[in-house]
Chains A and B, each alone.
Chain A
Amino acid sequence: MTARERIAGNVASYVDDRTGAAKWMKKNLTKVFPDHWSFMLGEIALYSFIILLLSGTFLTFWFDPSQREVVYEGGYAPLEGLKMSAAYASTLHISFEVRGGLLMRQIHHWAALIFMAAIVVHLLRVYFTGAFRKPREFNWIIGVGLLTLGIVEGFLGYSLPDDLLSGTGIRIAEAIIQALPLVGSYLAFFAFGGAFPGESFIPRIYTVHVLLLPGIFLALITVHLMLVWYQKHTQYPGPGRTEKNVVGYPLMPVYMAKAGGFFFIVFGITAFLGAVASINPIWLYGPYTPGQISAGSQPDWYMGWLDGLVRMSPPLETHAFGHTISWNILIPGLIVPGILFTGMALYPFIESWVTGDKREHHLLDRPRNAPNRTALGVMSLTFMIVALLNGGNDIIATNFHLTINQIMWFSRIAIFVLPPIAFIVTKRLCLSLQRADRDLVLHGRETGRLLRMPSGEFVEVHEPISPEKAWLLTQHEQNPPLALEEVDSRGVRRPGVIKNKIRARISKANAEAVPKVSVEDLKEIEHH
């Protein structure tokens, strides 16, 4: 035993004697995780969150969350001598006088955009591969919660500097609060401590932005990761991979190195963006005054779809009993997002209700093998993209020489027409891919080699695919639709006939598939 080993051993036993960590670490450091690039999308979100915590802490050292009026005397000449809030002035100070301040602000903001984008792609991966199925429904709900809170946190963040754009955003938020029937105006007064803009809103959202929400994030992310740890990671299907095992590499040293390295790469890419590309140039926006507005005022992208929905809604209002109900804000600003996010959170339960499947699933689906789910995902995505594009309708109009009215009308129609089309097309595509898989297993790969038979006939030579590939293409389950009889065994009608009919109908559509290759099929082929 060398001196170094002896010292290391001594330190290790010293710690172990006091914490009992050795047993726990021995078990957990060798925990196996499957290897795939799409399993690293959530990691991007996690690392962005750490970057946000670090850069955000730096910004709090100088940011003054106050709407107290000050006269600007800093170094940026085009704003010299203007009256503004201390929040805006201190953000200018961070941008122009604090060493590295602008870089940190830009890293913080880029990291926020990456955080939200990474959450979305991670969510798409989880959805399209069916990773949310039992036992991971709770983690799915936590994920939806993180996404929702991320939208709120991001909005509060870019509202803090009190520049013209952020003030415009807060004004719209106030309008959405006010659109709530009956309680709206009271809630708005409560949130703003009086009439808009008041002097309390920025100090209040500052506390929420830097204390409350990051705390909730930390807690939810911890539970999210602990559940992944406890339930083990899902894996893609393949030879040797079952519902009972996990094929991959141990945490130590492979994933420690990979994850550690990936963190620094994410940090590097974020810092690169912060260094080369300007984001939220608040000095150009000017200080917020309710009397001013800029053309092309948009929210950050993760709110853009909401803005797009509001922009396309027709001016509907009802006046009743001295109250105004603004449907034009209420529907796109609260009702539609409410339905979308509730539906998303409940989706695992809806799917299991449709399939009647209550078993655990640790092997992921190939998206084509769940055509209905994939089609529903593409349908929702189409809805969101139409809404998001309409959120930037003025920028699109000026850059592509279109009219903003045409884009609005296109969106109004497309938001209803395109998602169902996307559903049908995706479902057909999935079934076609299943058919292609079936052909591949039955007839093998097309080699492109042409053979002339003695009879003069030309045929293309097909090569059988590898057993591994054949396994991948045939391993999935194809379950029949739910059989819900209207009468029970004694001929008595069951309760809830209509509900069962609907359920059976959906279940039938959900189970639609091209039959996968069976052993009998292969035997029959061999006879030819």
Chain B
Amino acid sequence: MKRLSRFRRHKAAGPLLLLFALFTIGTTFQIADATTTPALTAEARTAAIEEGKQLFLKGCSSCHGLNAEGGAIAPSLVGVGAASVDFQVGTGRMPMADMSTQAMRKKPVYNEEQVQALALYVASLAPGPEIPEAATLNYERDGSAAEGGELFRTNCAMCHNFAAQGGALTQGKYAPTLMGVEAKHIYEAMITGPQSMPVFSDKTITPQEKLSIIKWIKAAEAEPQLGGASLGRVGPVTEGLLVWTLGLGLLIGVAVWLATKAR
């Protein structure tokens, strides 16, 4: 101990200690942070883009063109951004099953890694909206359900219905239900505006407000069926149907029973 304390007032002690402290903090942070975002090295990125390009040429280029420039039946993907690819392919909408009015949500064709590769490839063509990082999607912490509900009713309910159950649009198009949709995909839909949906830029609805909307949707999804069977949360149509079938059915059945003569 005495030998060490002799160096206490050495000229280099201060800077050395500072270096040591910085090193410790930096390493600790690196280890702690490593789990959230694995940084892609330049080589890995190039490789992924190449893989994405190969996937694109096989699965997408027949409609979207060999260089994603678009064609008669499909739009150009230059500048749509990684977020758009992640939404369309990640929810199984792309590749489309058939050329109907609207791409339907279905089981994704590509796995997560392939979606990432496709997204990186498309993003490499021209800059566009990026996939939101998981750390920025902490809606439970950063959102407010009440504010989200207000925003939802003002901006979303007109198509997606008051309880996010979806609704009809013109010519067979529709706003899908938001029940069971991942937070990431909801966020991506807002920033990219897929199909008939408008884009809600960060100036219209700030990122924090977007998280509030997601928080409200998730709260609506988790809400128990207060007051009994929810009847689909689509308003009075199902209520009327129930009254004319079960309600009047039971009542008229009882009337018939009461008017039956005893044998």
Given A294-B157, A397-B168, A398-B166, A278 contacting B226 (CB threshold 8 A):
yes
A43 CA to B219 CA, complexed, in Å: 43
Q: Which of A74-82, A345-353, A362-370, A471-479 contacts B (4 or more CB under 8 A)?
A: A74-82
Given A37-B252, A102-B227, A114-B247, A280 contacting B168 (CB threshold 8 A):
no
CB-contact partner of B145 in A78, A289, A300, under 8 A? A78
Structural contact, B255 and A291, CB atoms closer than 8 A:
no
Chain A, Cβ-Cβ closest to B162: A294
Given A295-B161, A297-B235, A397-B168, A41 contacting B252 (CB threshold 8 A):
yes
Chain A, Cβ-Cβ closest to B233: A284
**A328 close to chain B: CB less than 8 A:** no
**A287-306 interface code vs B (CB 8 A; 1 in, 0 out):** 00101111111111100100
A348 CA to B175 CA, complexed, in Å: 49
A284 CA to B231 CA, complexed, in Å: 13
Structural contact, B258 and A261, CB atoms closer than 8 A:
yes
CB-contact partner of B230 in A269, A281, A301, under 8 A? A281
Chain B residues near A392: list those with CB within 8 A. Answer: 237
Chain A, Cβ-Cβ closest to B154: A292
Given A165-B235, A273-B242, A284 contacting B163 (CB threshold 8 A):
yes
Structural contact, B145 and A398, CB atoms closer than 8 A:
no
Name B's interface SS.
Answer: helix
Structural contact, A273 and B251, CB atoms closer than 8 A:
no
Structural contact, A279 and B227, CB atoms closer than 8 A:
yes
Q: How far in angstroms is the closest Cβ of chain A from B30?
A: 39
Structural contact, B168 and A295, CB atoms closer than 8 A:
yes
Question: For chain B residues 33-81, which have a beta carbon within 8 Å of chain A?
Answer: none
Chain A residues near B254: list those with CB within 8 A. Answer: 262, 265, 269
Chain A residues near B161: list those with CB within 8 A. Answer: 294-296
Given A37-B259, A41-B255, A394-B167, A273 contacting B246 (CB threshold 8 A):
yes
Q: How far in angstroms is the closest Cβ of chain B from A276?
A: 5
A44 CA to B250 CA, complexed, in Å: 11
Structural contact, B171 and A44, CB atoms closer than 8 A:
no
Q: How far in angstroms is the closest Cβ of chain B from A271?
A: 12
Question: For chain B residues 147-205, which have a beta carbon within 8 Å of chain A?
Answer: 149-150, 153-154, 157-163, 165-172, 174-175
A266 CA to B165 CA, complexed, in Å: 33
Given A278-B226, A301-B244, A397 contacting B172 (CB threshold 8 A):
yes
Q: How far in angstroms is the closest Cβ of chain A from B247?
A: 5
Chain B, Cβ-Cβ closest to A395: B237
Structural contact, A278 and B159, CB atoms closer than 8 A:
no
Structural contact, A304 and B240, CB atoms closer than 8 A:
yes
**B146 close to chain A: CB less than 8 A:** yes
**A113 close to chain B: CB less than 8 A:** yes
Chain B, Cβ-Cβ closest to A34: B259
**B220 close to chain A: CB less than 8 A:** yes
Structural contact, A114 and B243, CB atoms closer than 8 A:
yes
A523 CA to B137 CA, complexed, in Å: 92
Q: How far in angstroms is the closest Cβ of chain A from B195?
A: 15
Structural contact, B244 and A117, CB atoms closer than 8 A:
yes
**A283 close to chain B: CB less than 8 A:** yes
Q: How far in angstroms is the closest Cβ of chain A from B251?
A: 5
Structural contact, A78 and B167, CB atoms closer than 8 A:
no
Chain A residues near B261: list those with CB within 8 A. Answer: 35
Chain A residues near B228: list those with CB within 8 A. Answer: 106, 274-278
Chain B residues near A95: list those with CB within 8 A. Answer: 226-227
CB-contact partner of A278 in B101, B170, B172, B227, under 8 A? B227
Structural contact, B242 and A295, CB atoms closer than 8 A:
no
**B248 close to chain A: CB less than 8 A:** yes
Chain B residues near A493: list those with CB within 8 A. Answer: none
**B140 close to chain A: CB less than 8 A:** no
**B32 close to chain A: CB less than 8 A:** no
**B236 close to chain A: CB less than 8 A:** yes
Structural contact, A293 and B158, CB atoms closer than 8 A:
yes
Chain B residues near A164: list those with CB within 8 A. Answer: 153, 157, 162
**B5 close to chain A: CB less than 8 A:** no
**A245-278 interface code vs B (CB 8 A; 1 in, 0 out):** 0000000000000100110011001000111111
The winner among A165, A275, A394 for most chain B CB atoms within 10 A is A394
Structural contact, B259 and A40, CB atoms closer than 8 A:
yes
Name A residues whose Cβ lies closer than 8 Å to a Cβ of B: 35-41, 43-44, 77-82, 95, 102, 106, 110, 113-114, 117-118, 121, 164-165, 258, 261-262, 265-266, 269, 273-281, 283-286, 289, 291-301, 304, 391-395, 397-398, 401-406
Top 3 A-B pairs ranked by shortest CB distance?
A295-B167, A301-B240, A403-B172
- Please name 20 pairs of A and B residues whose Cβ atoms are closer than 8 Å in the assembled complex, sorted by A: A37-B258, A77-B219, A114-B243, A117-B243, A121-B252, A265-B254, A269-B254, A276-B228, A277-B231, A277-B242, A281-B163, A284-B163, A296-B168, A296-B235, A298-B235, A301-B237, A397-B168, A398-B166, A398-B174, A405-B171
Beyond A283-B226, A296-B235, A298-B235: 4 further Cβ-contacts under 8 Å? A36-B259, A78-B220, A284-B233, A296-B167
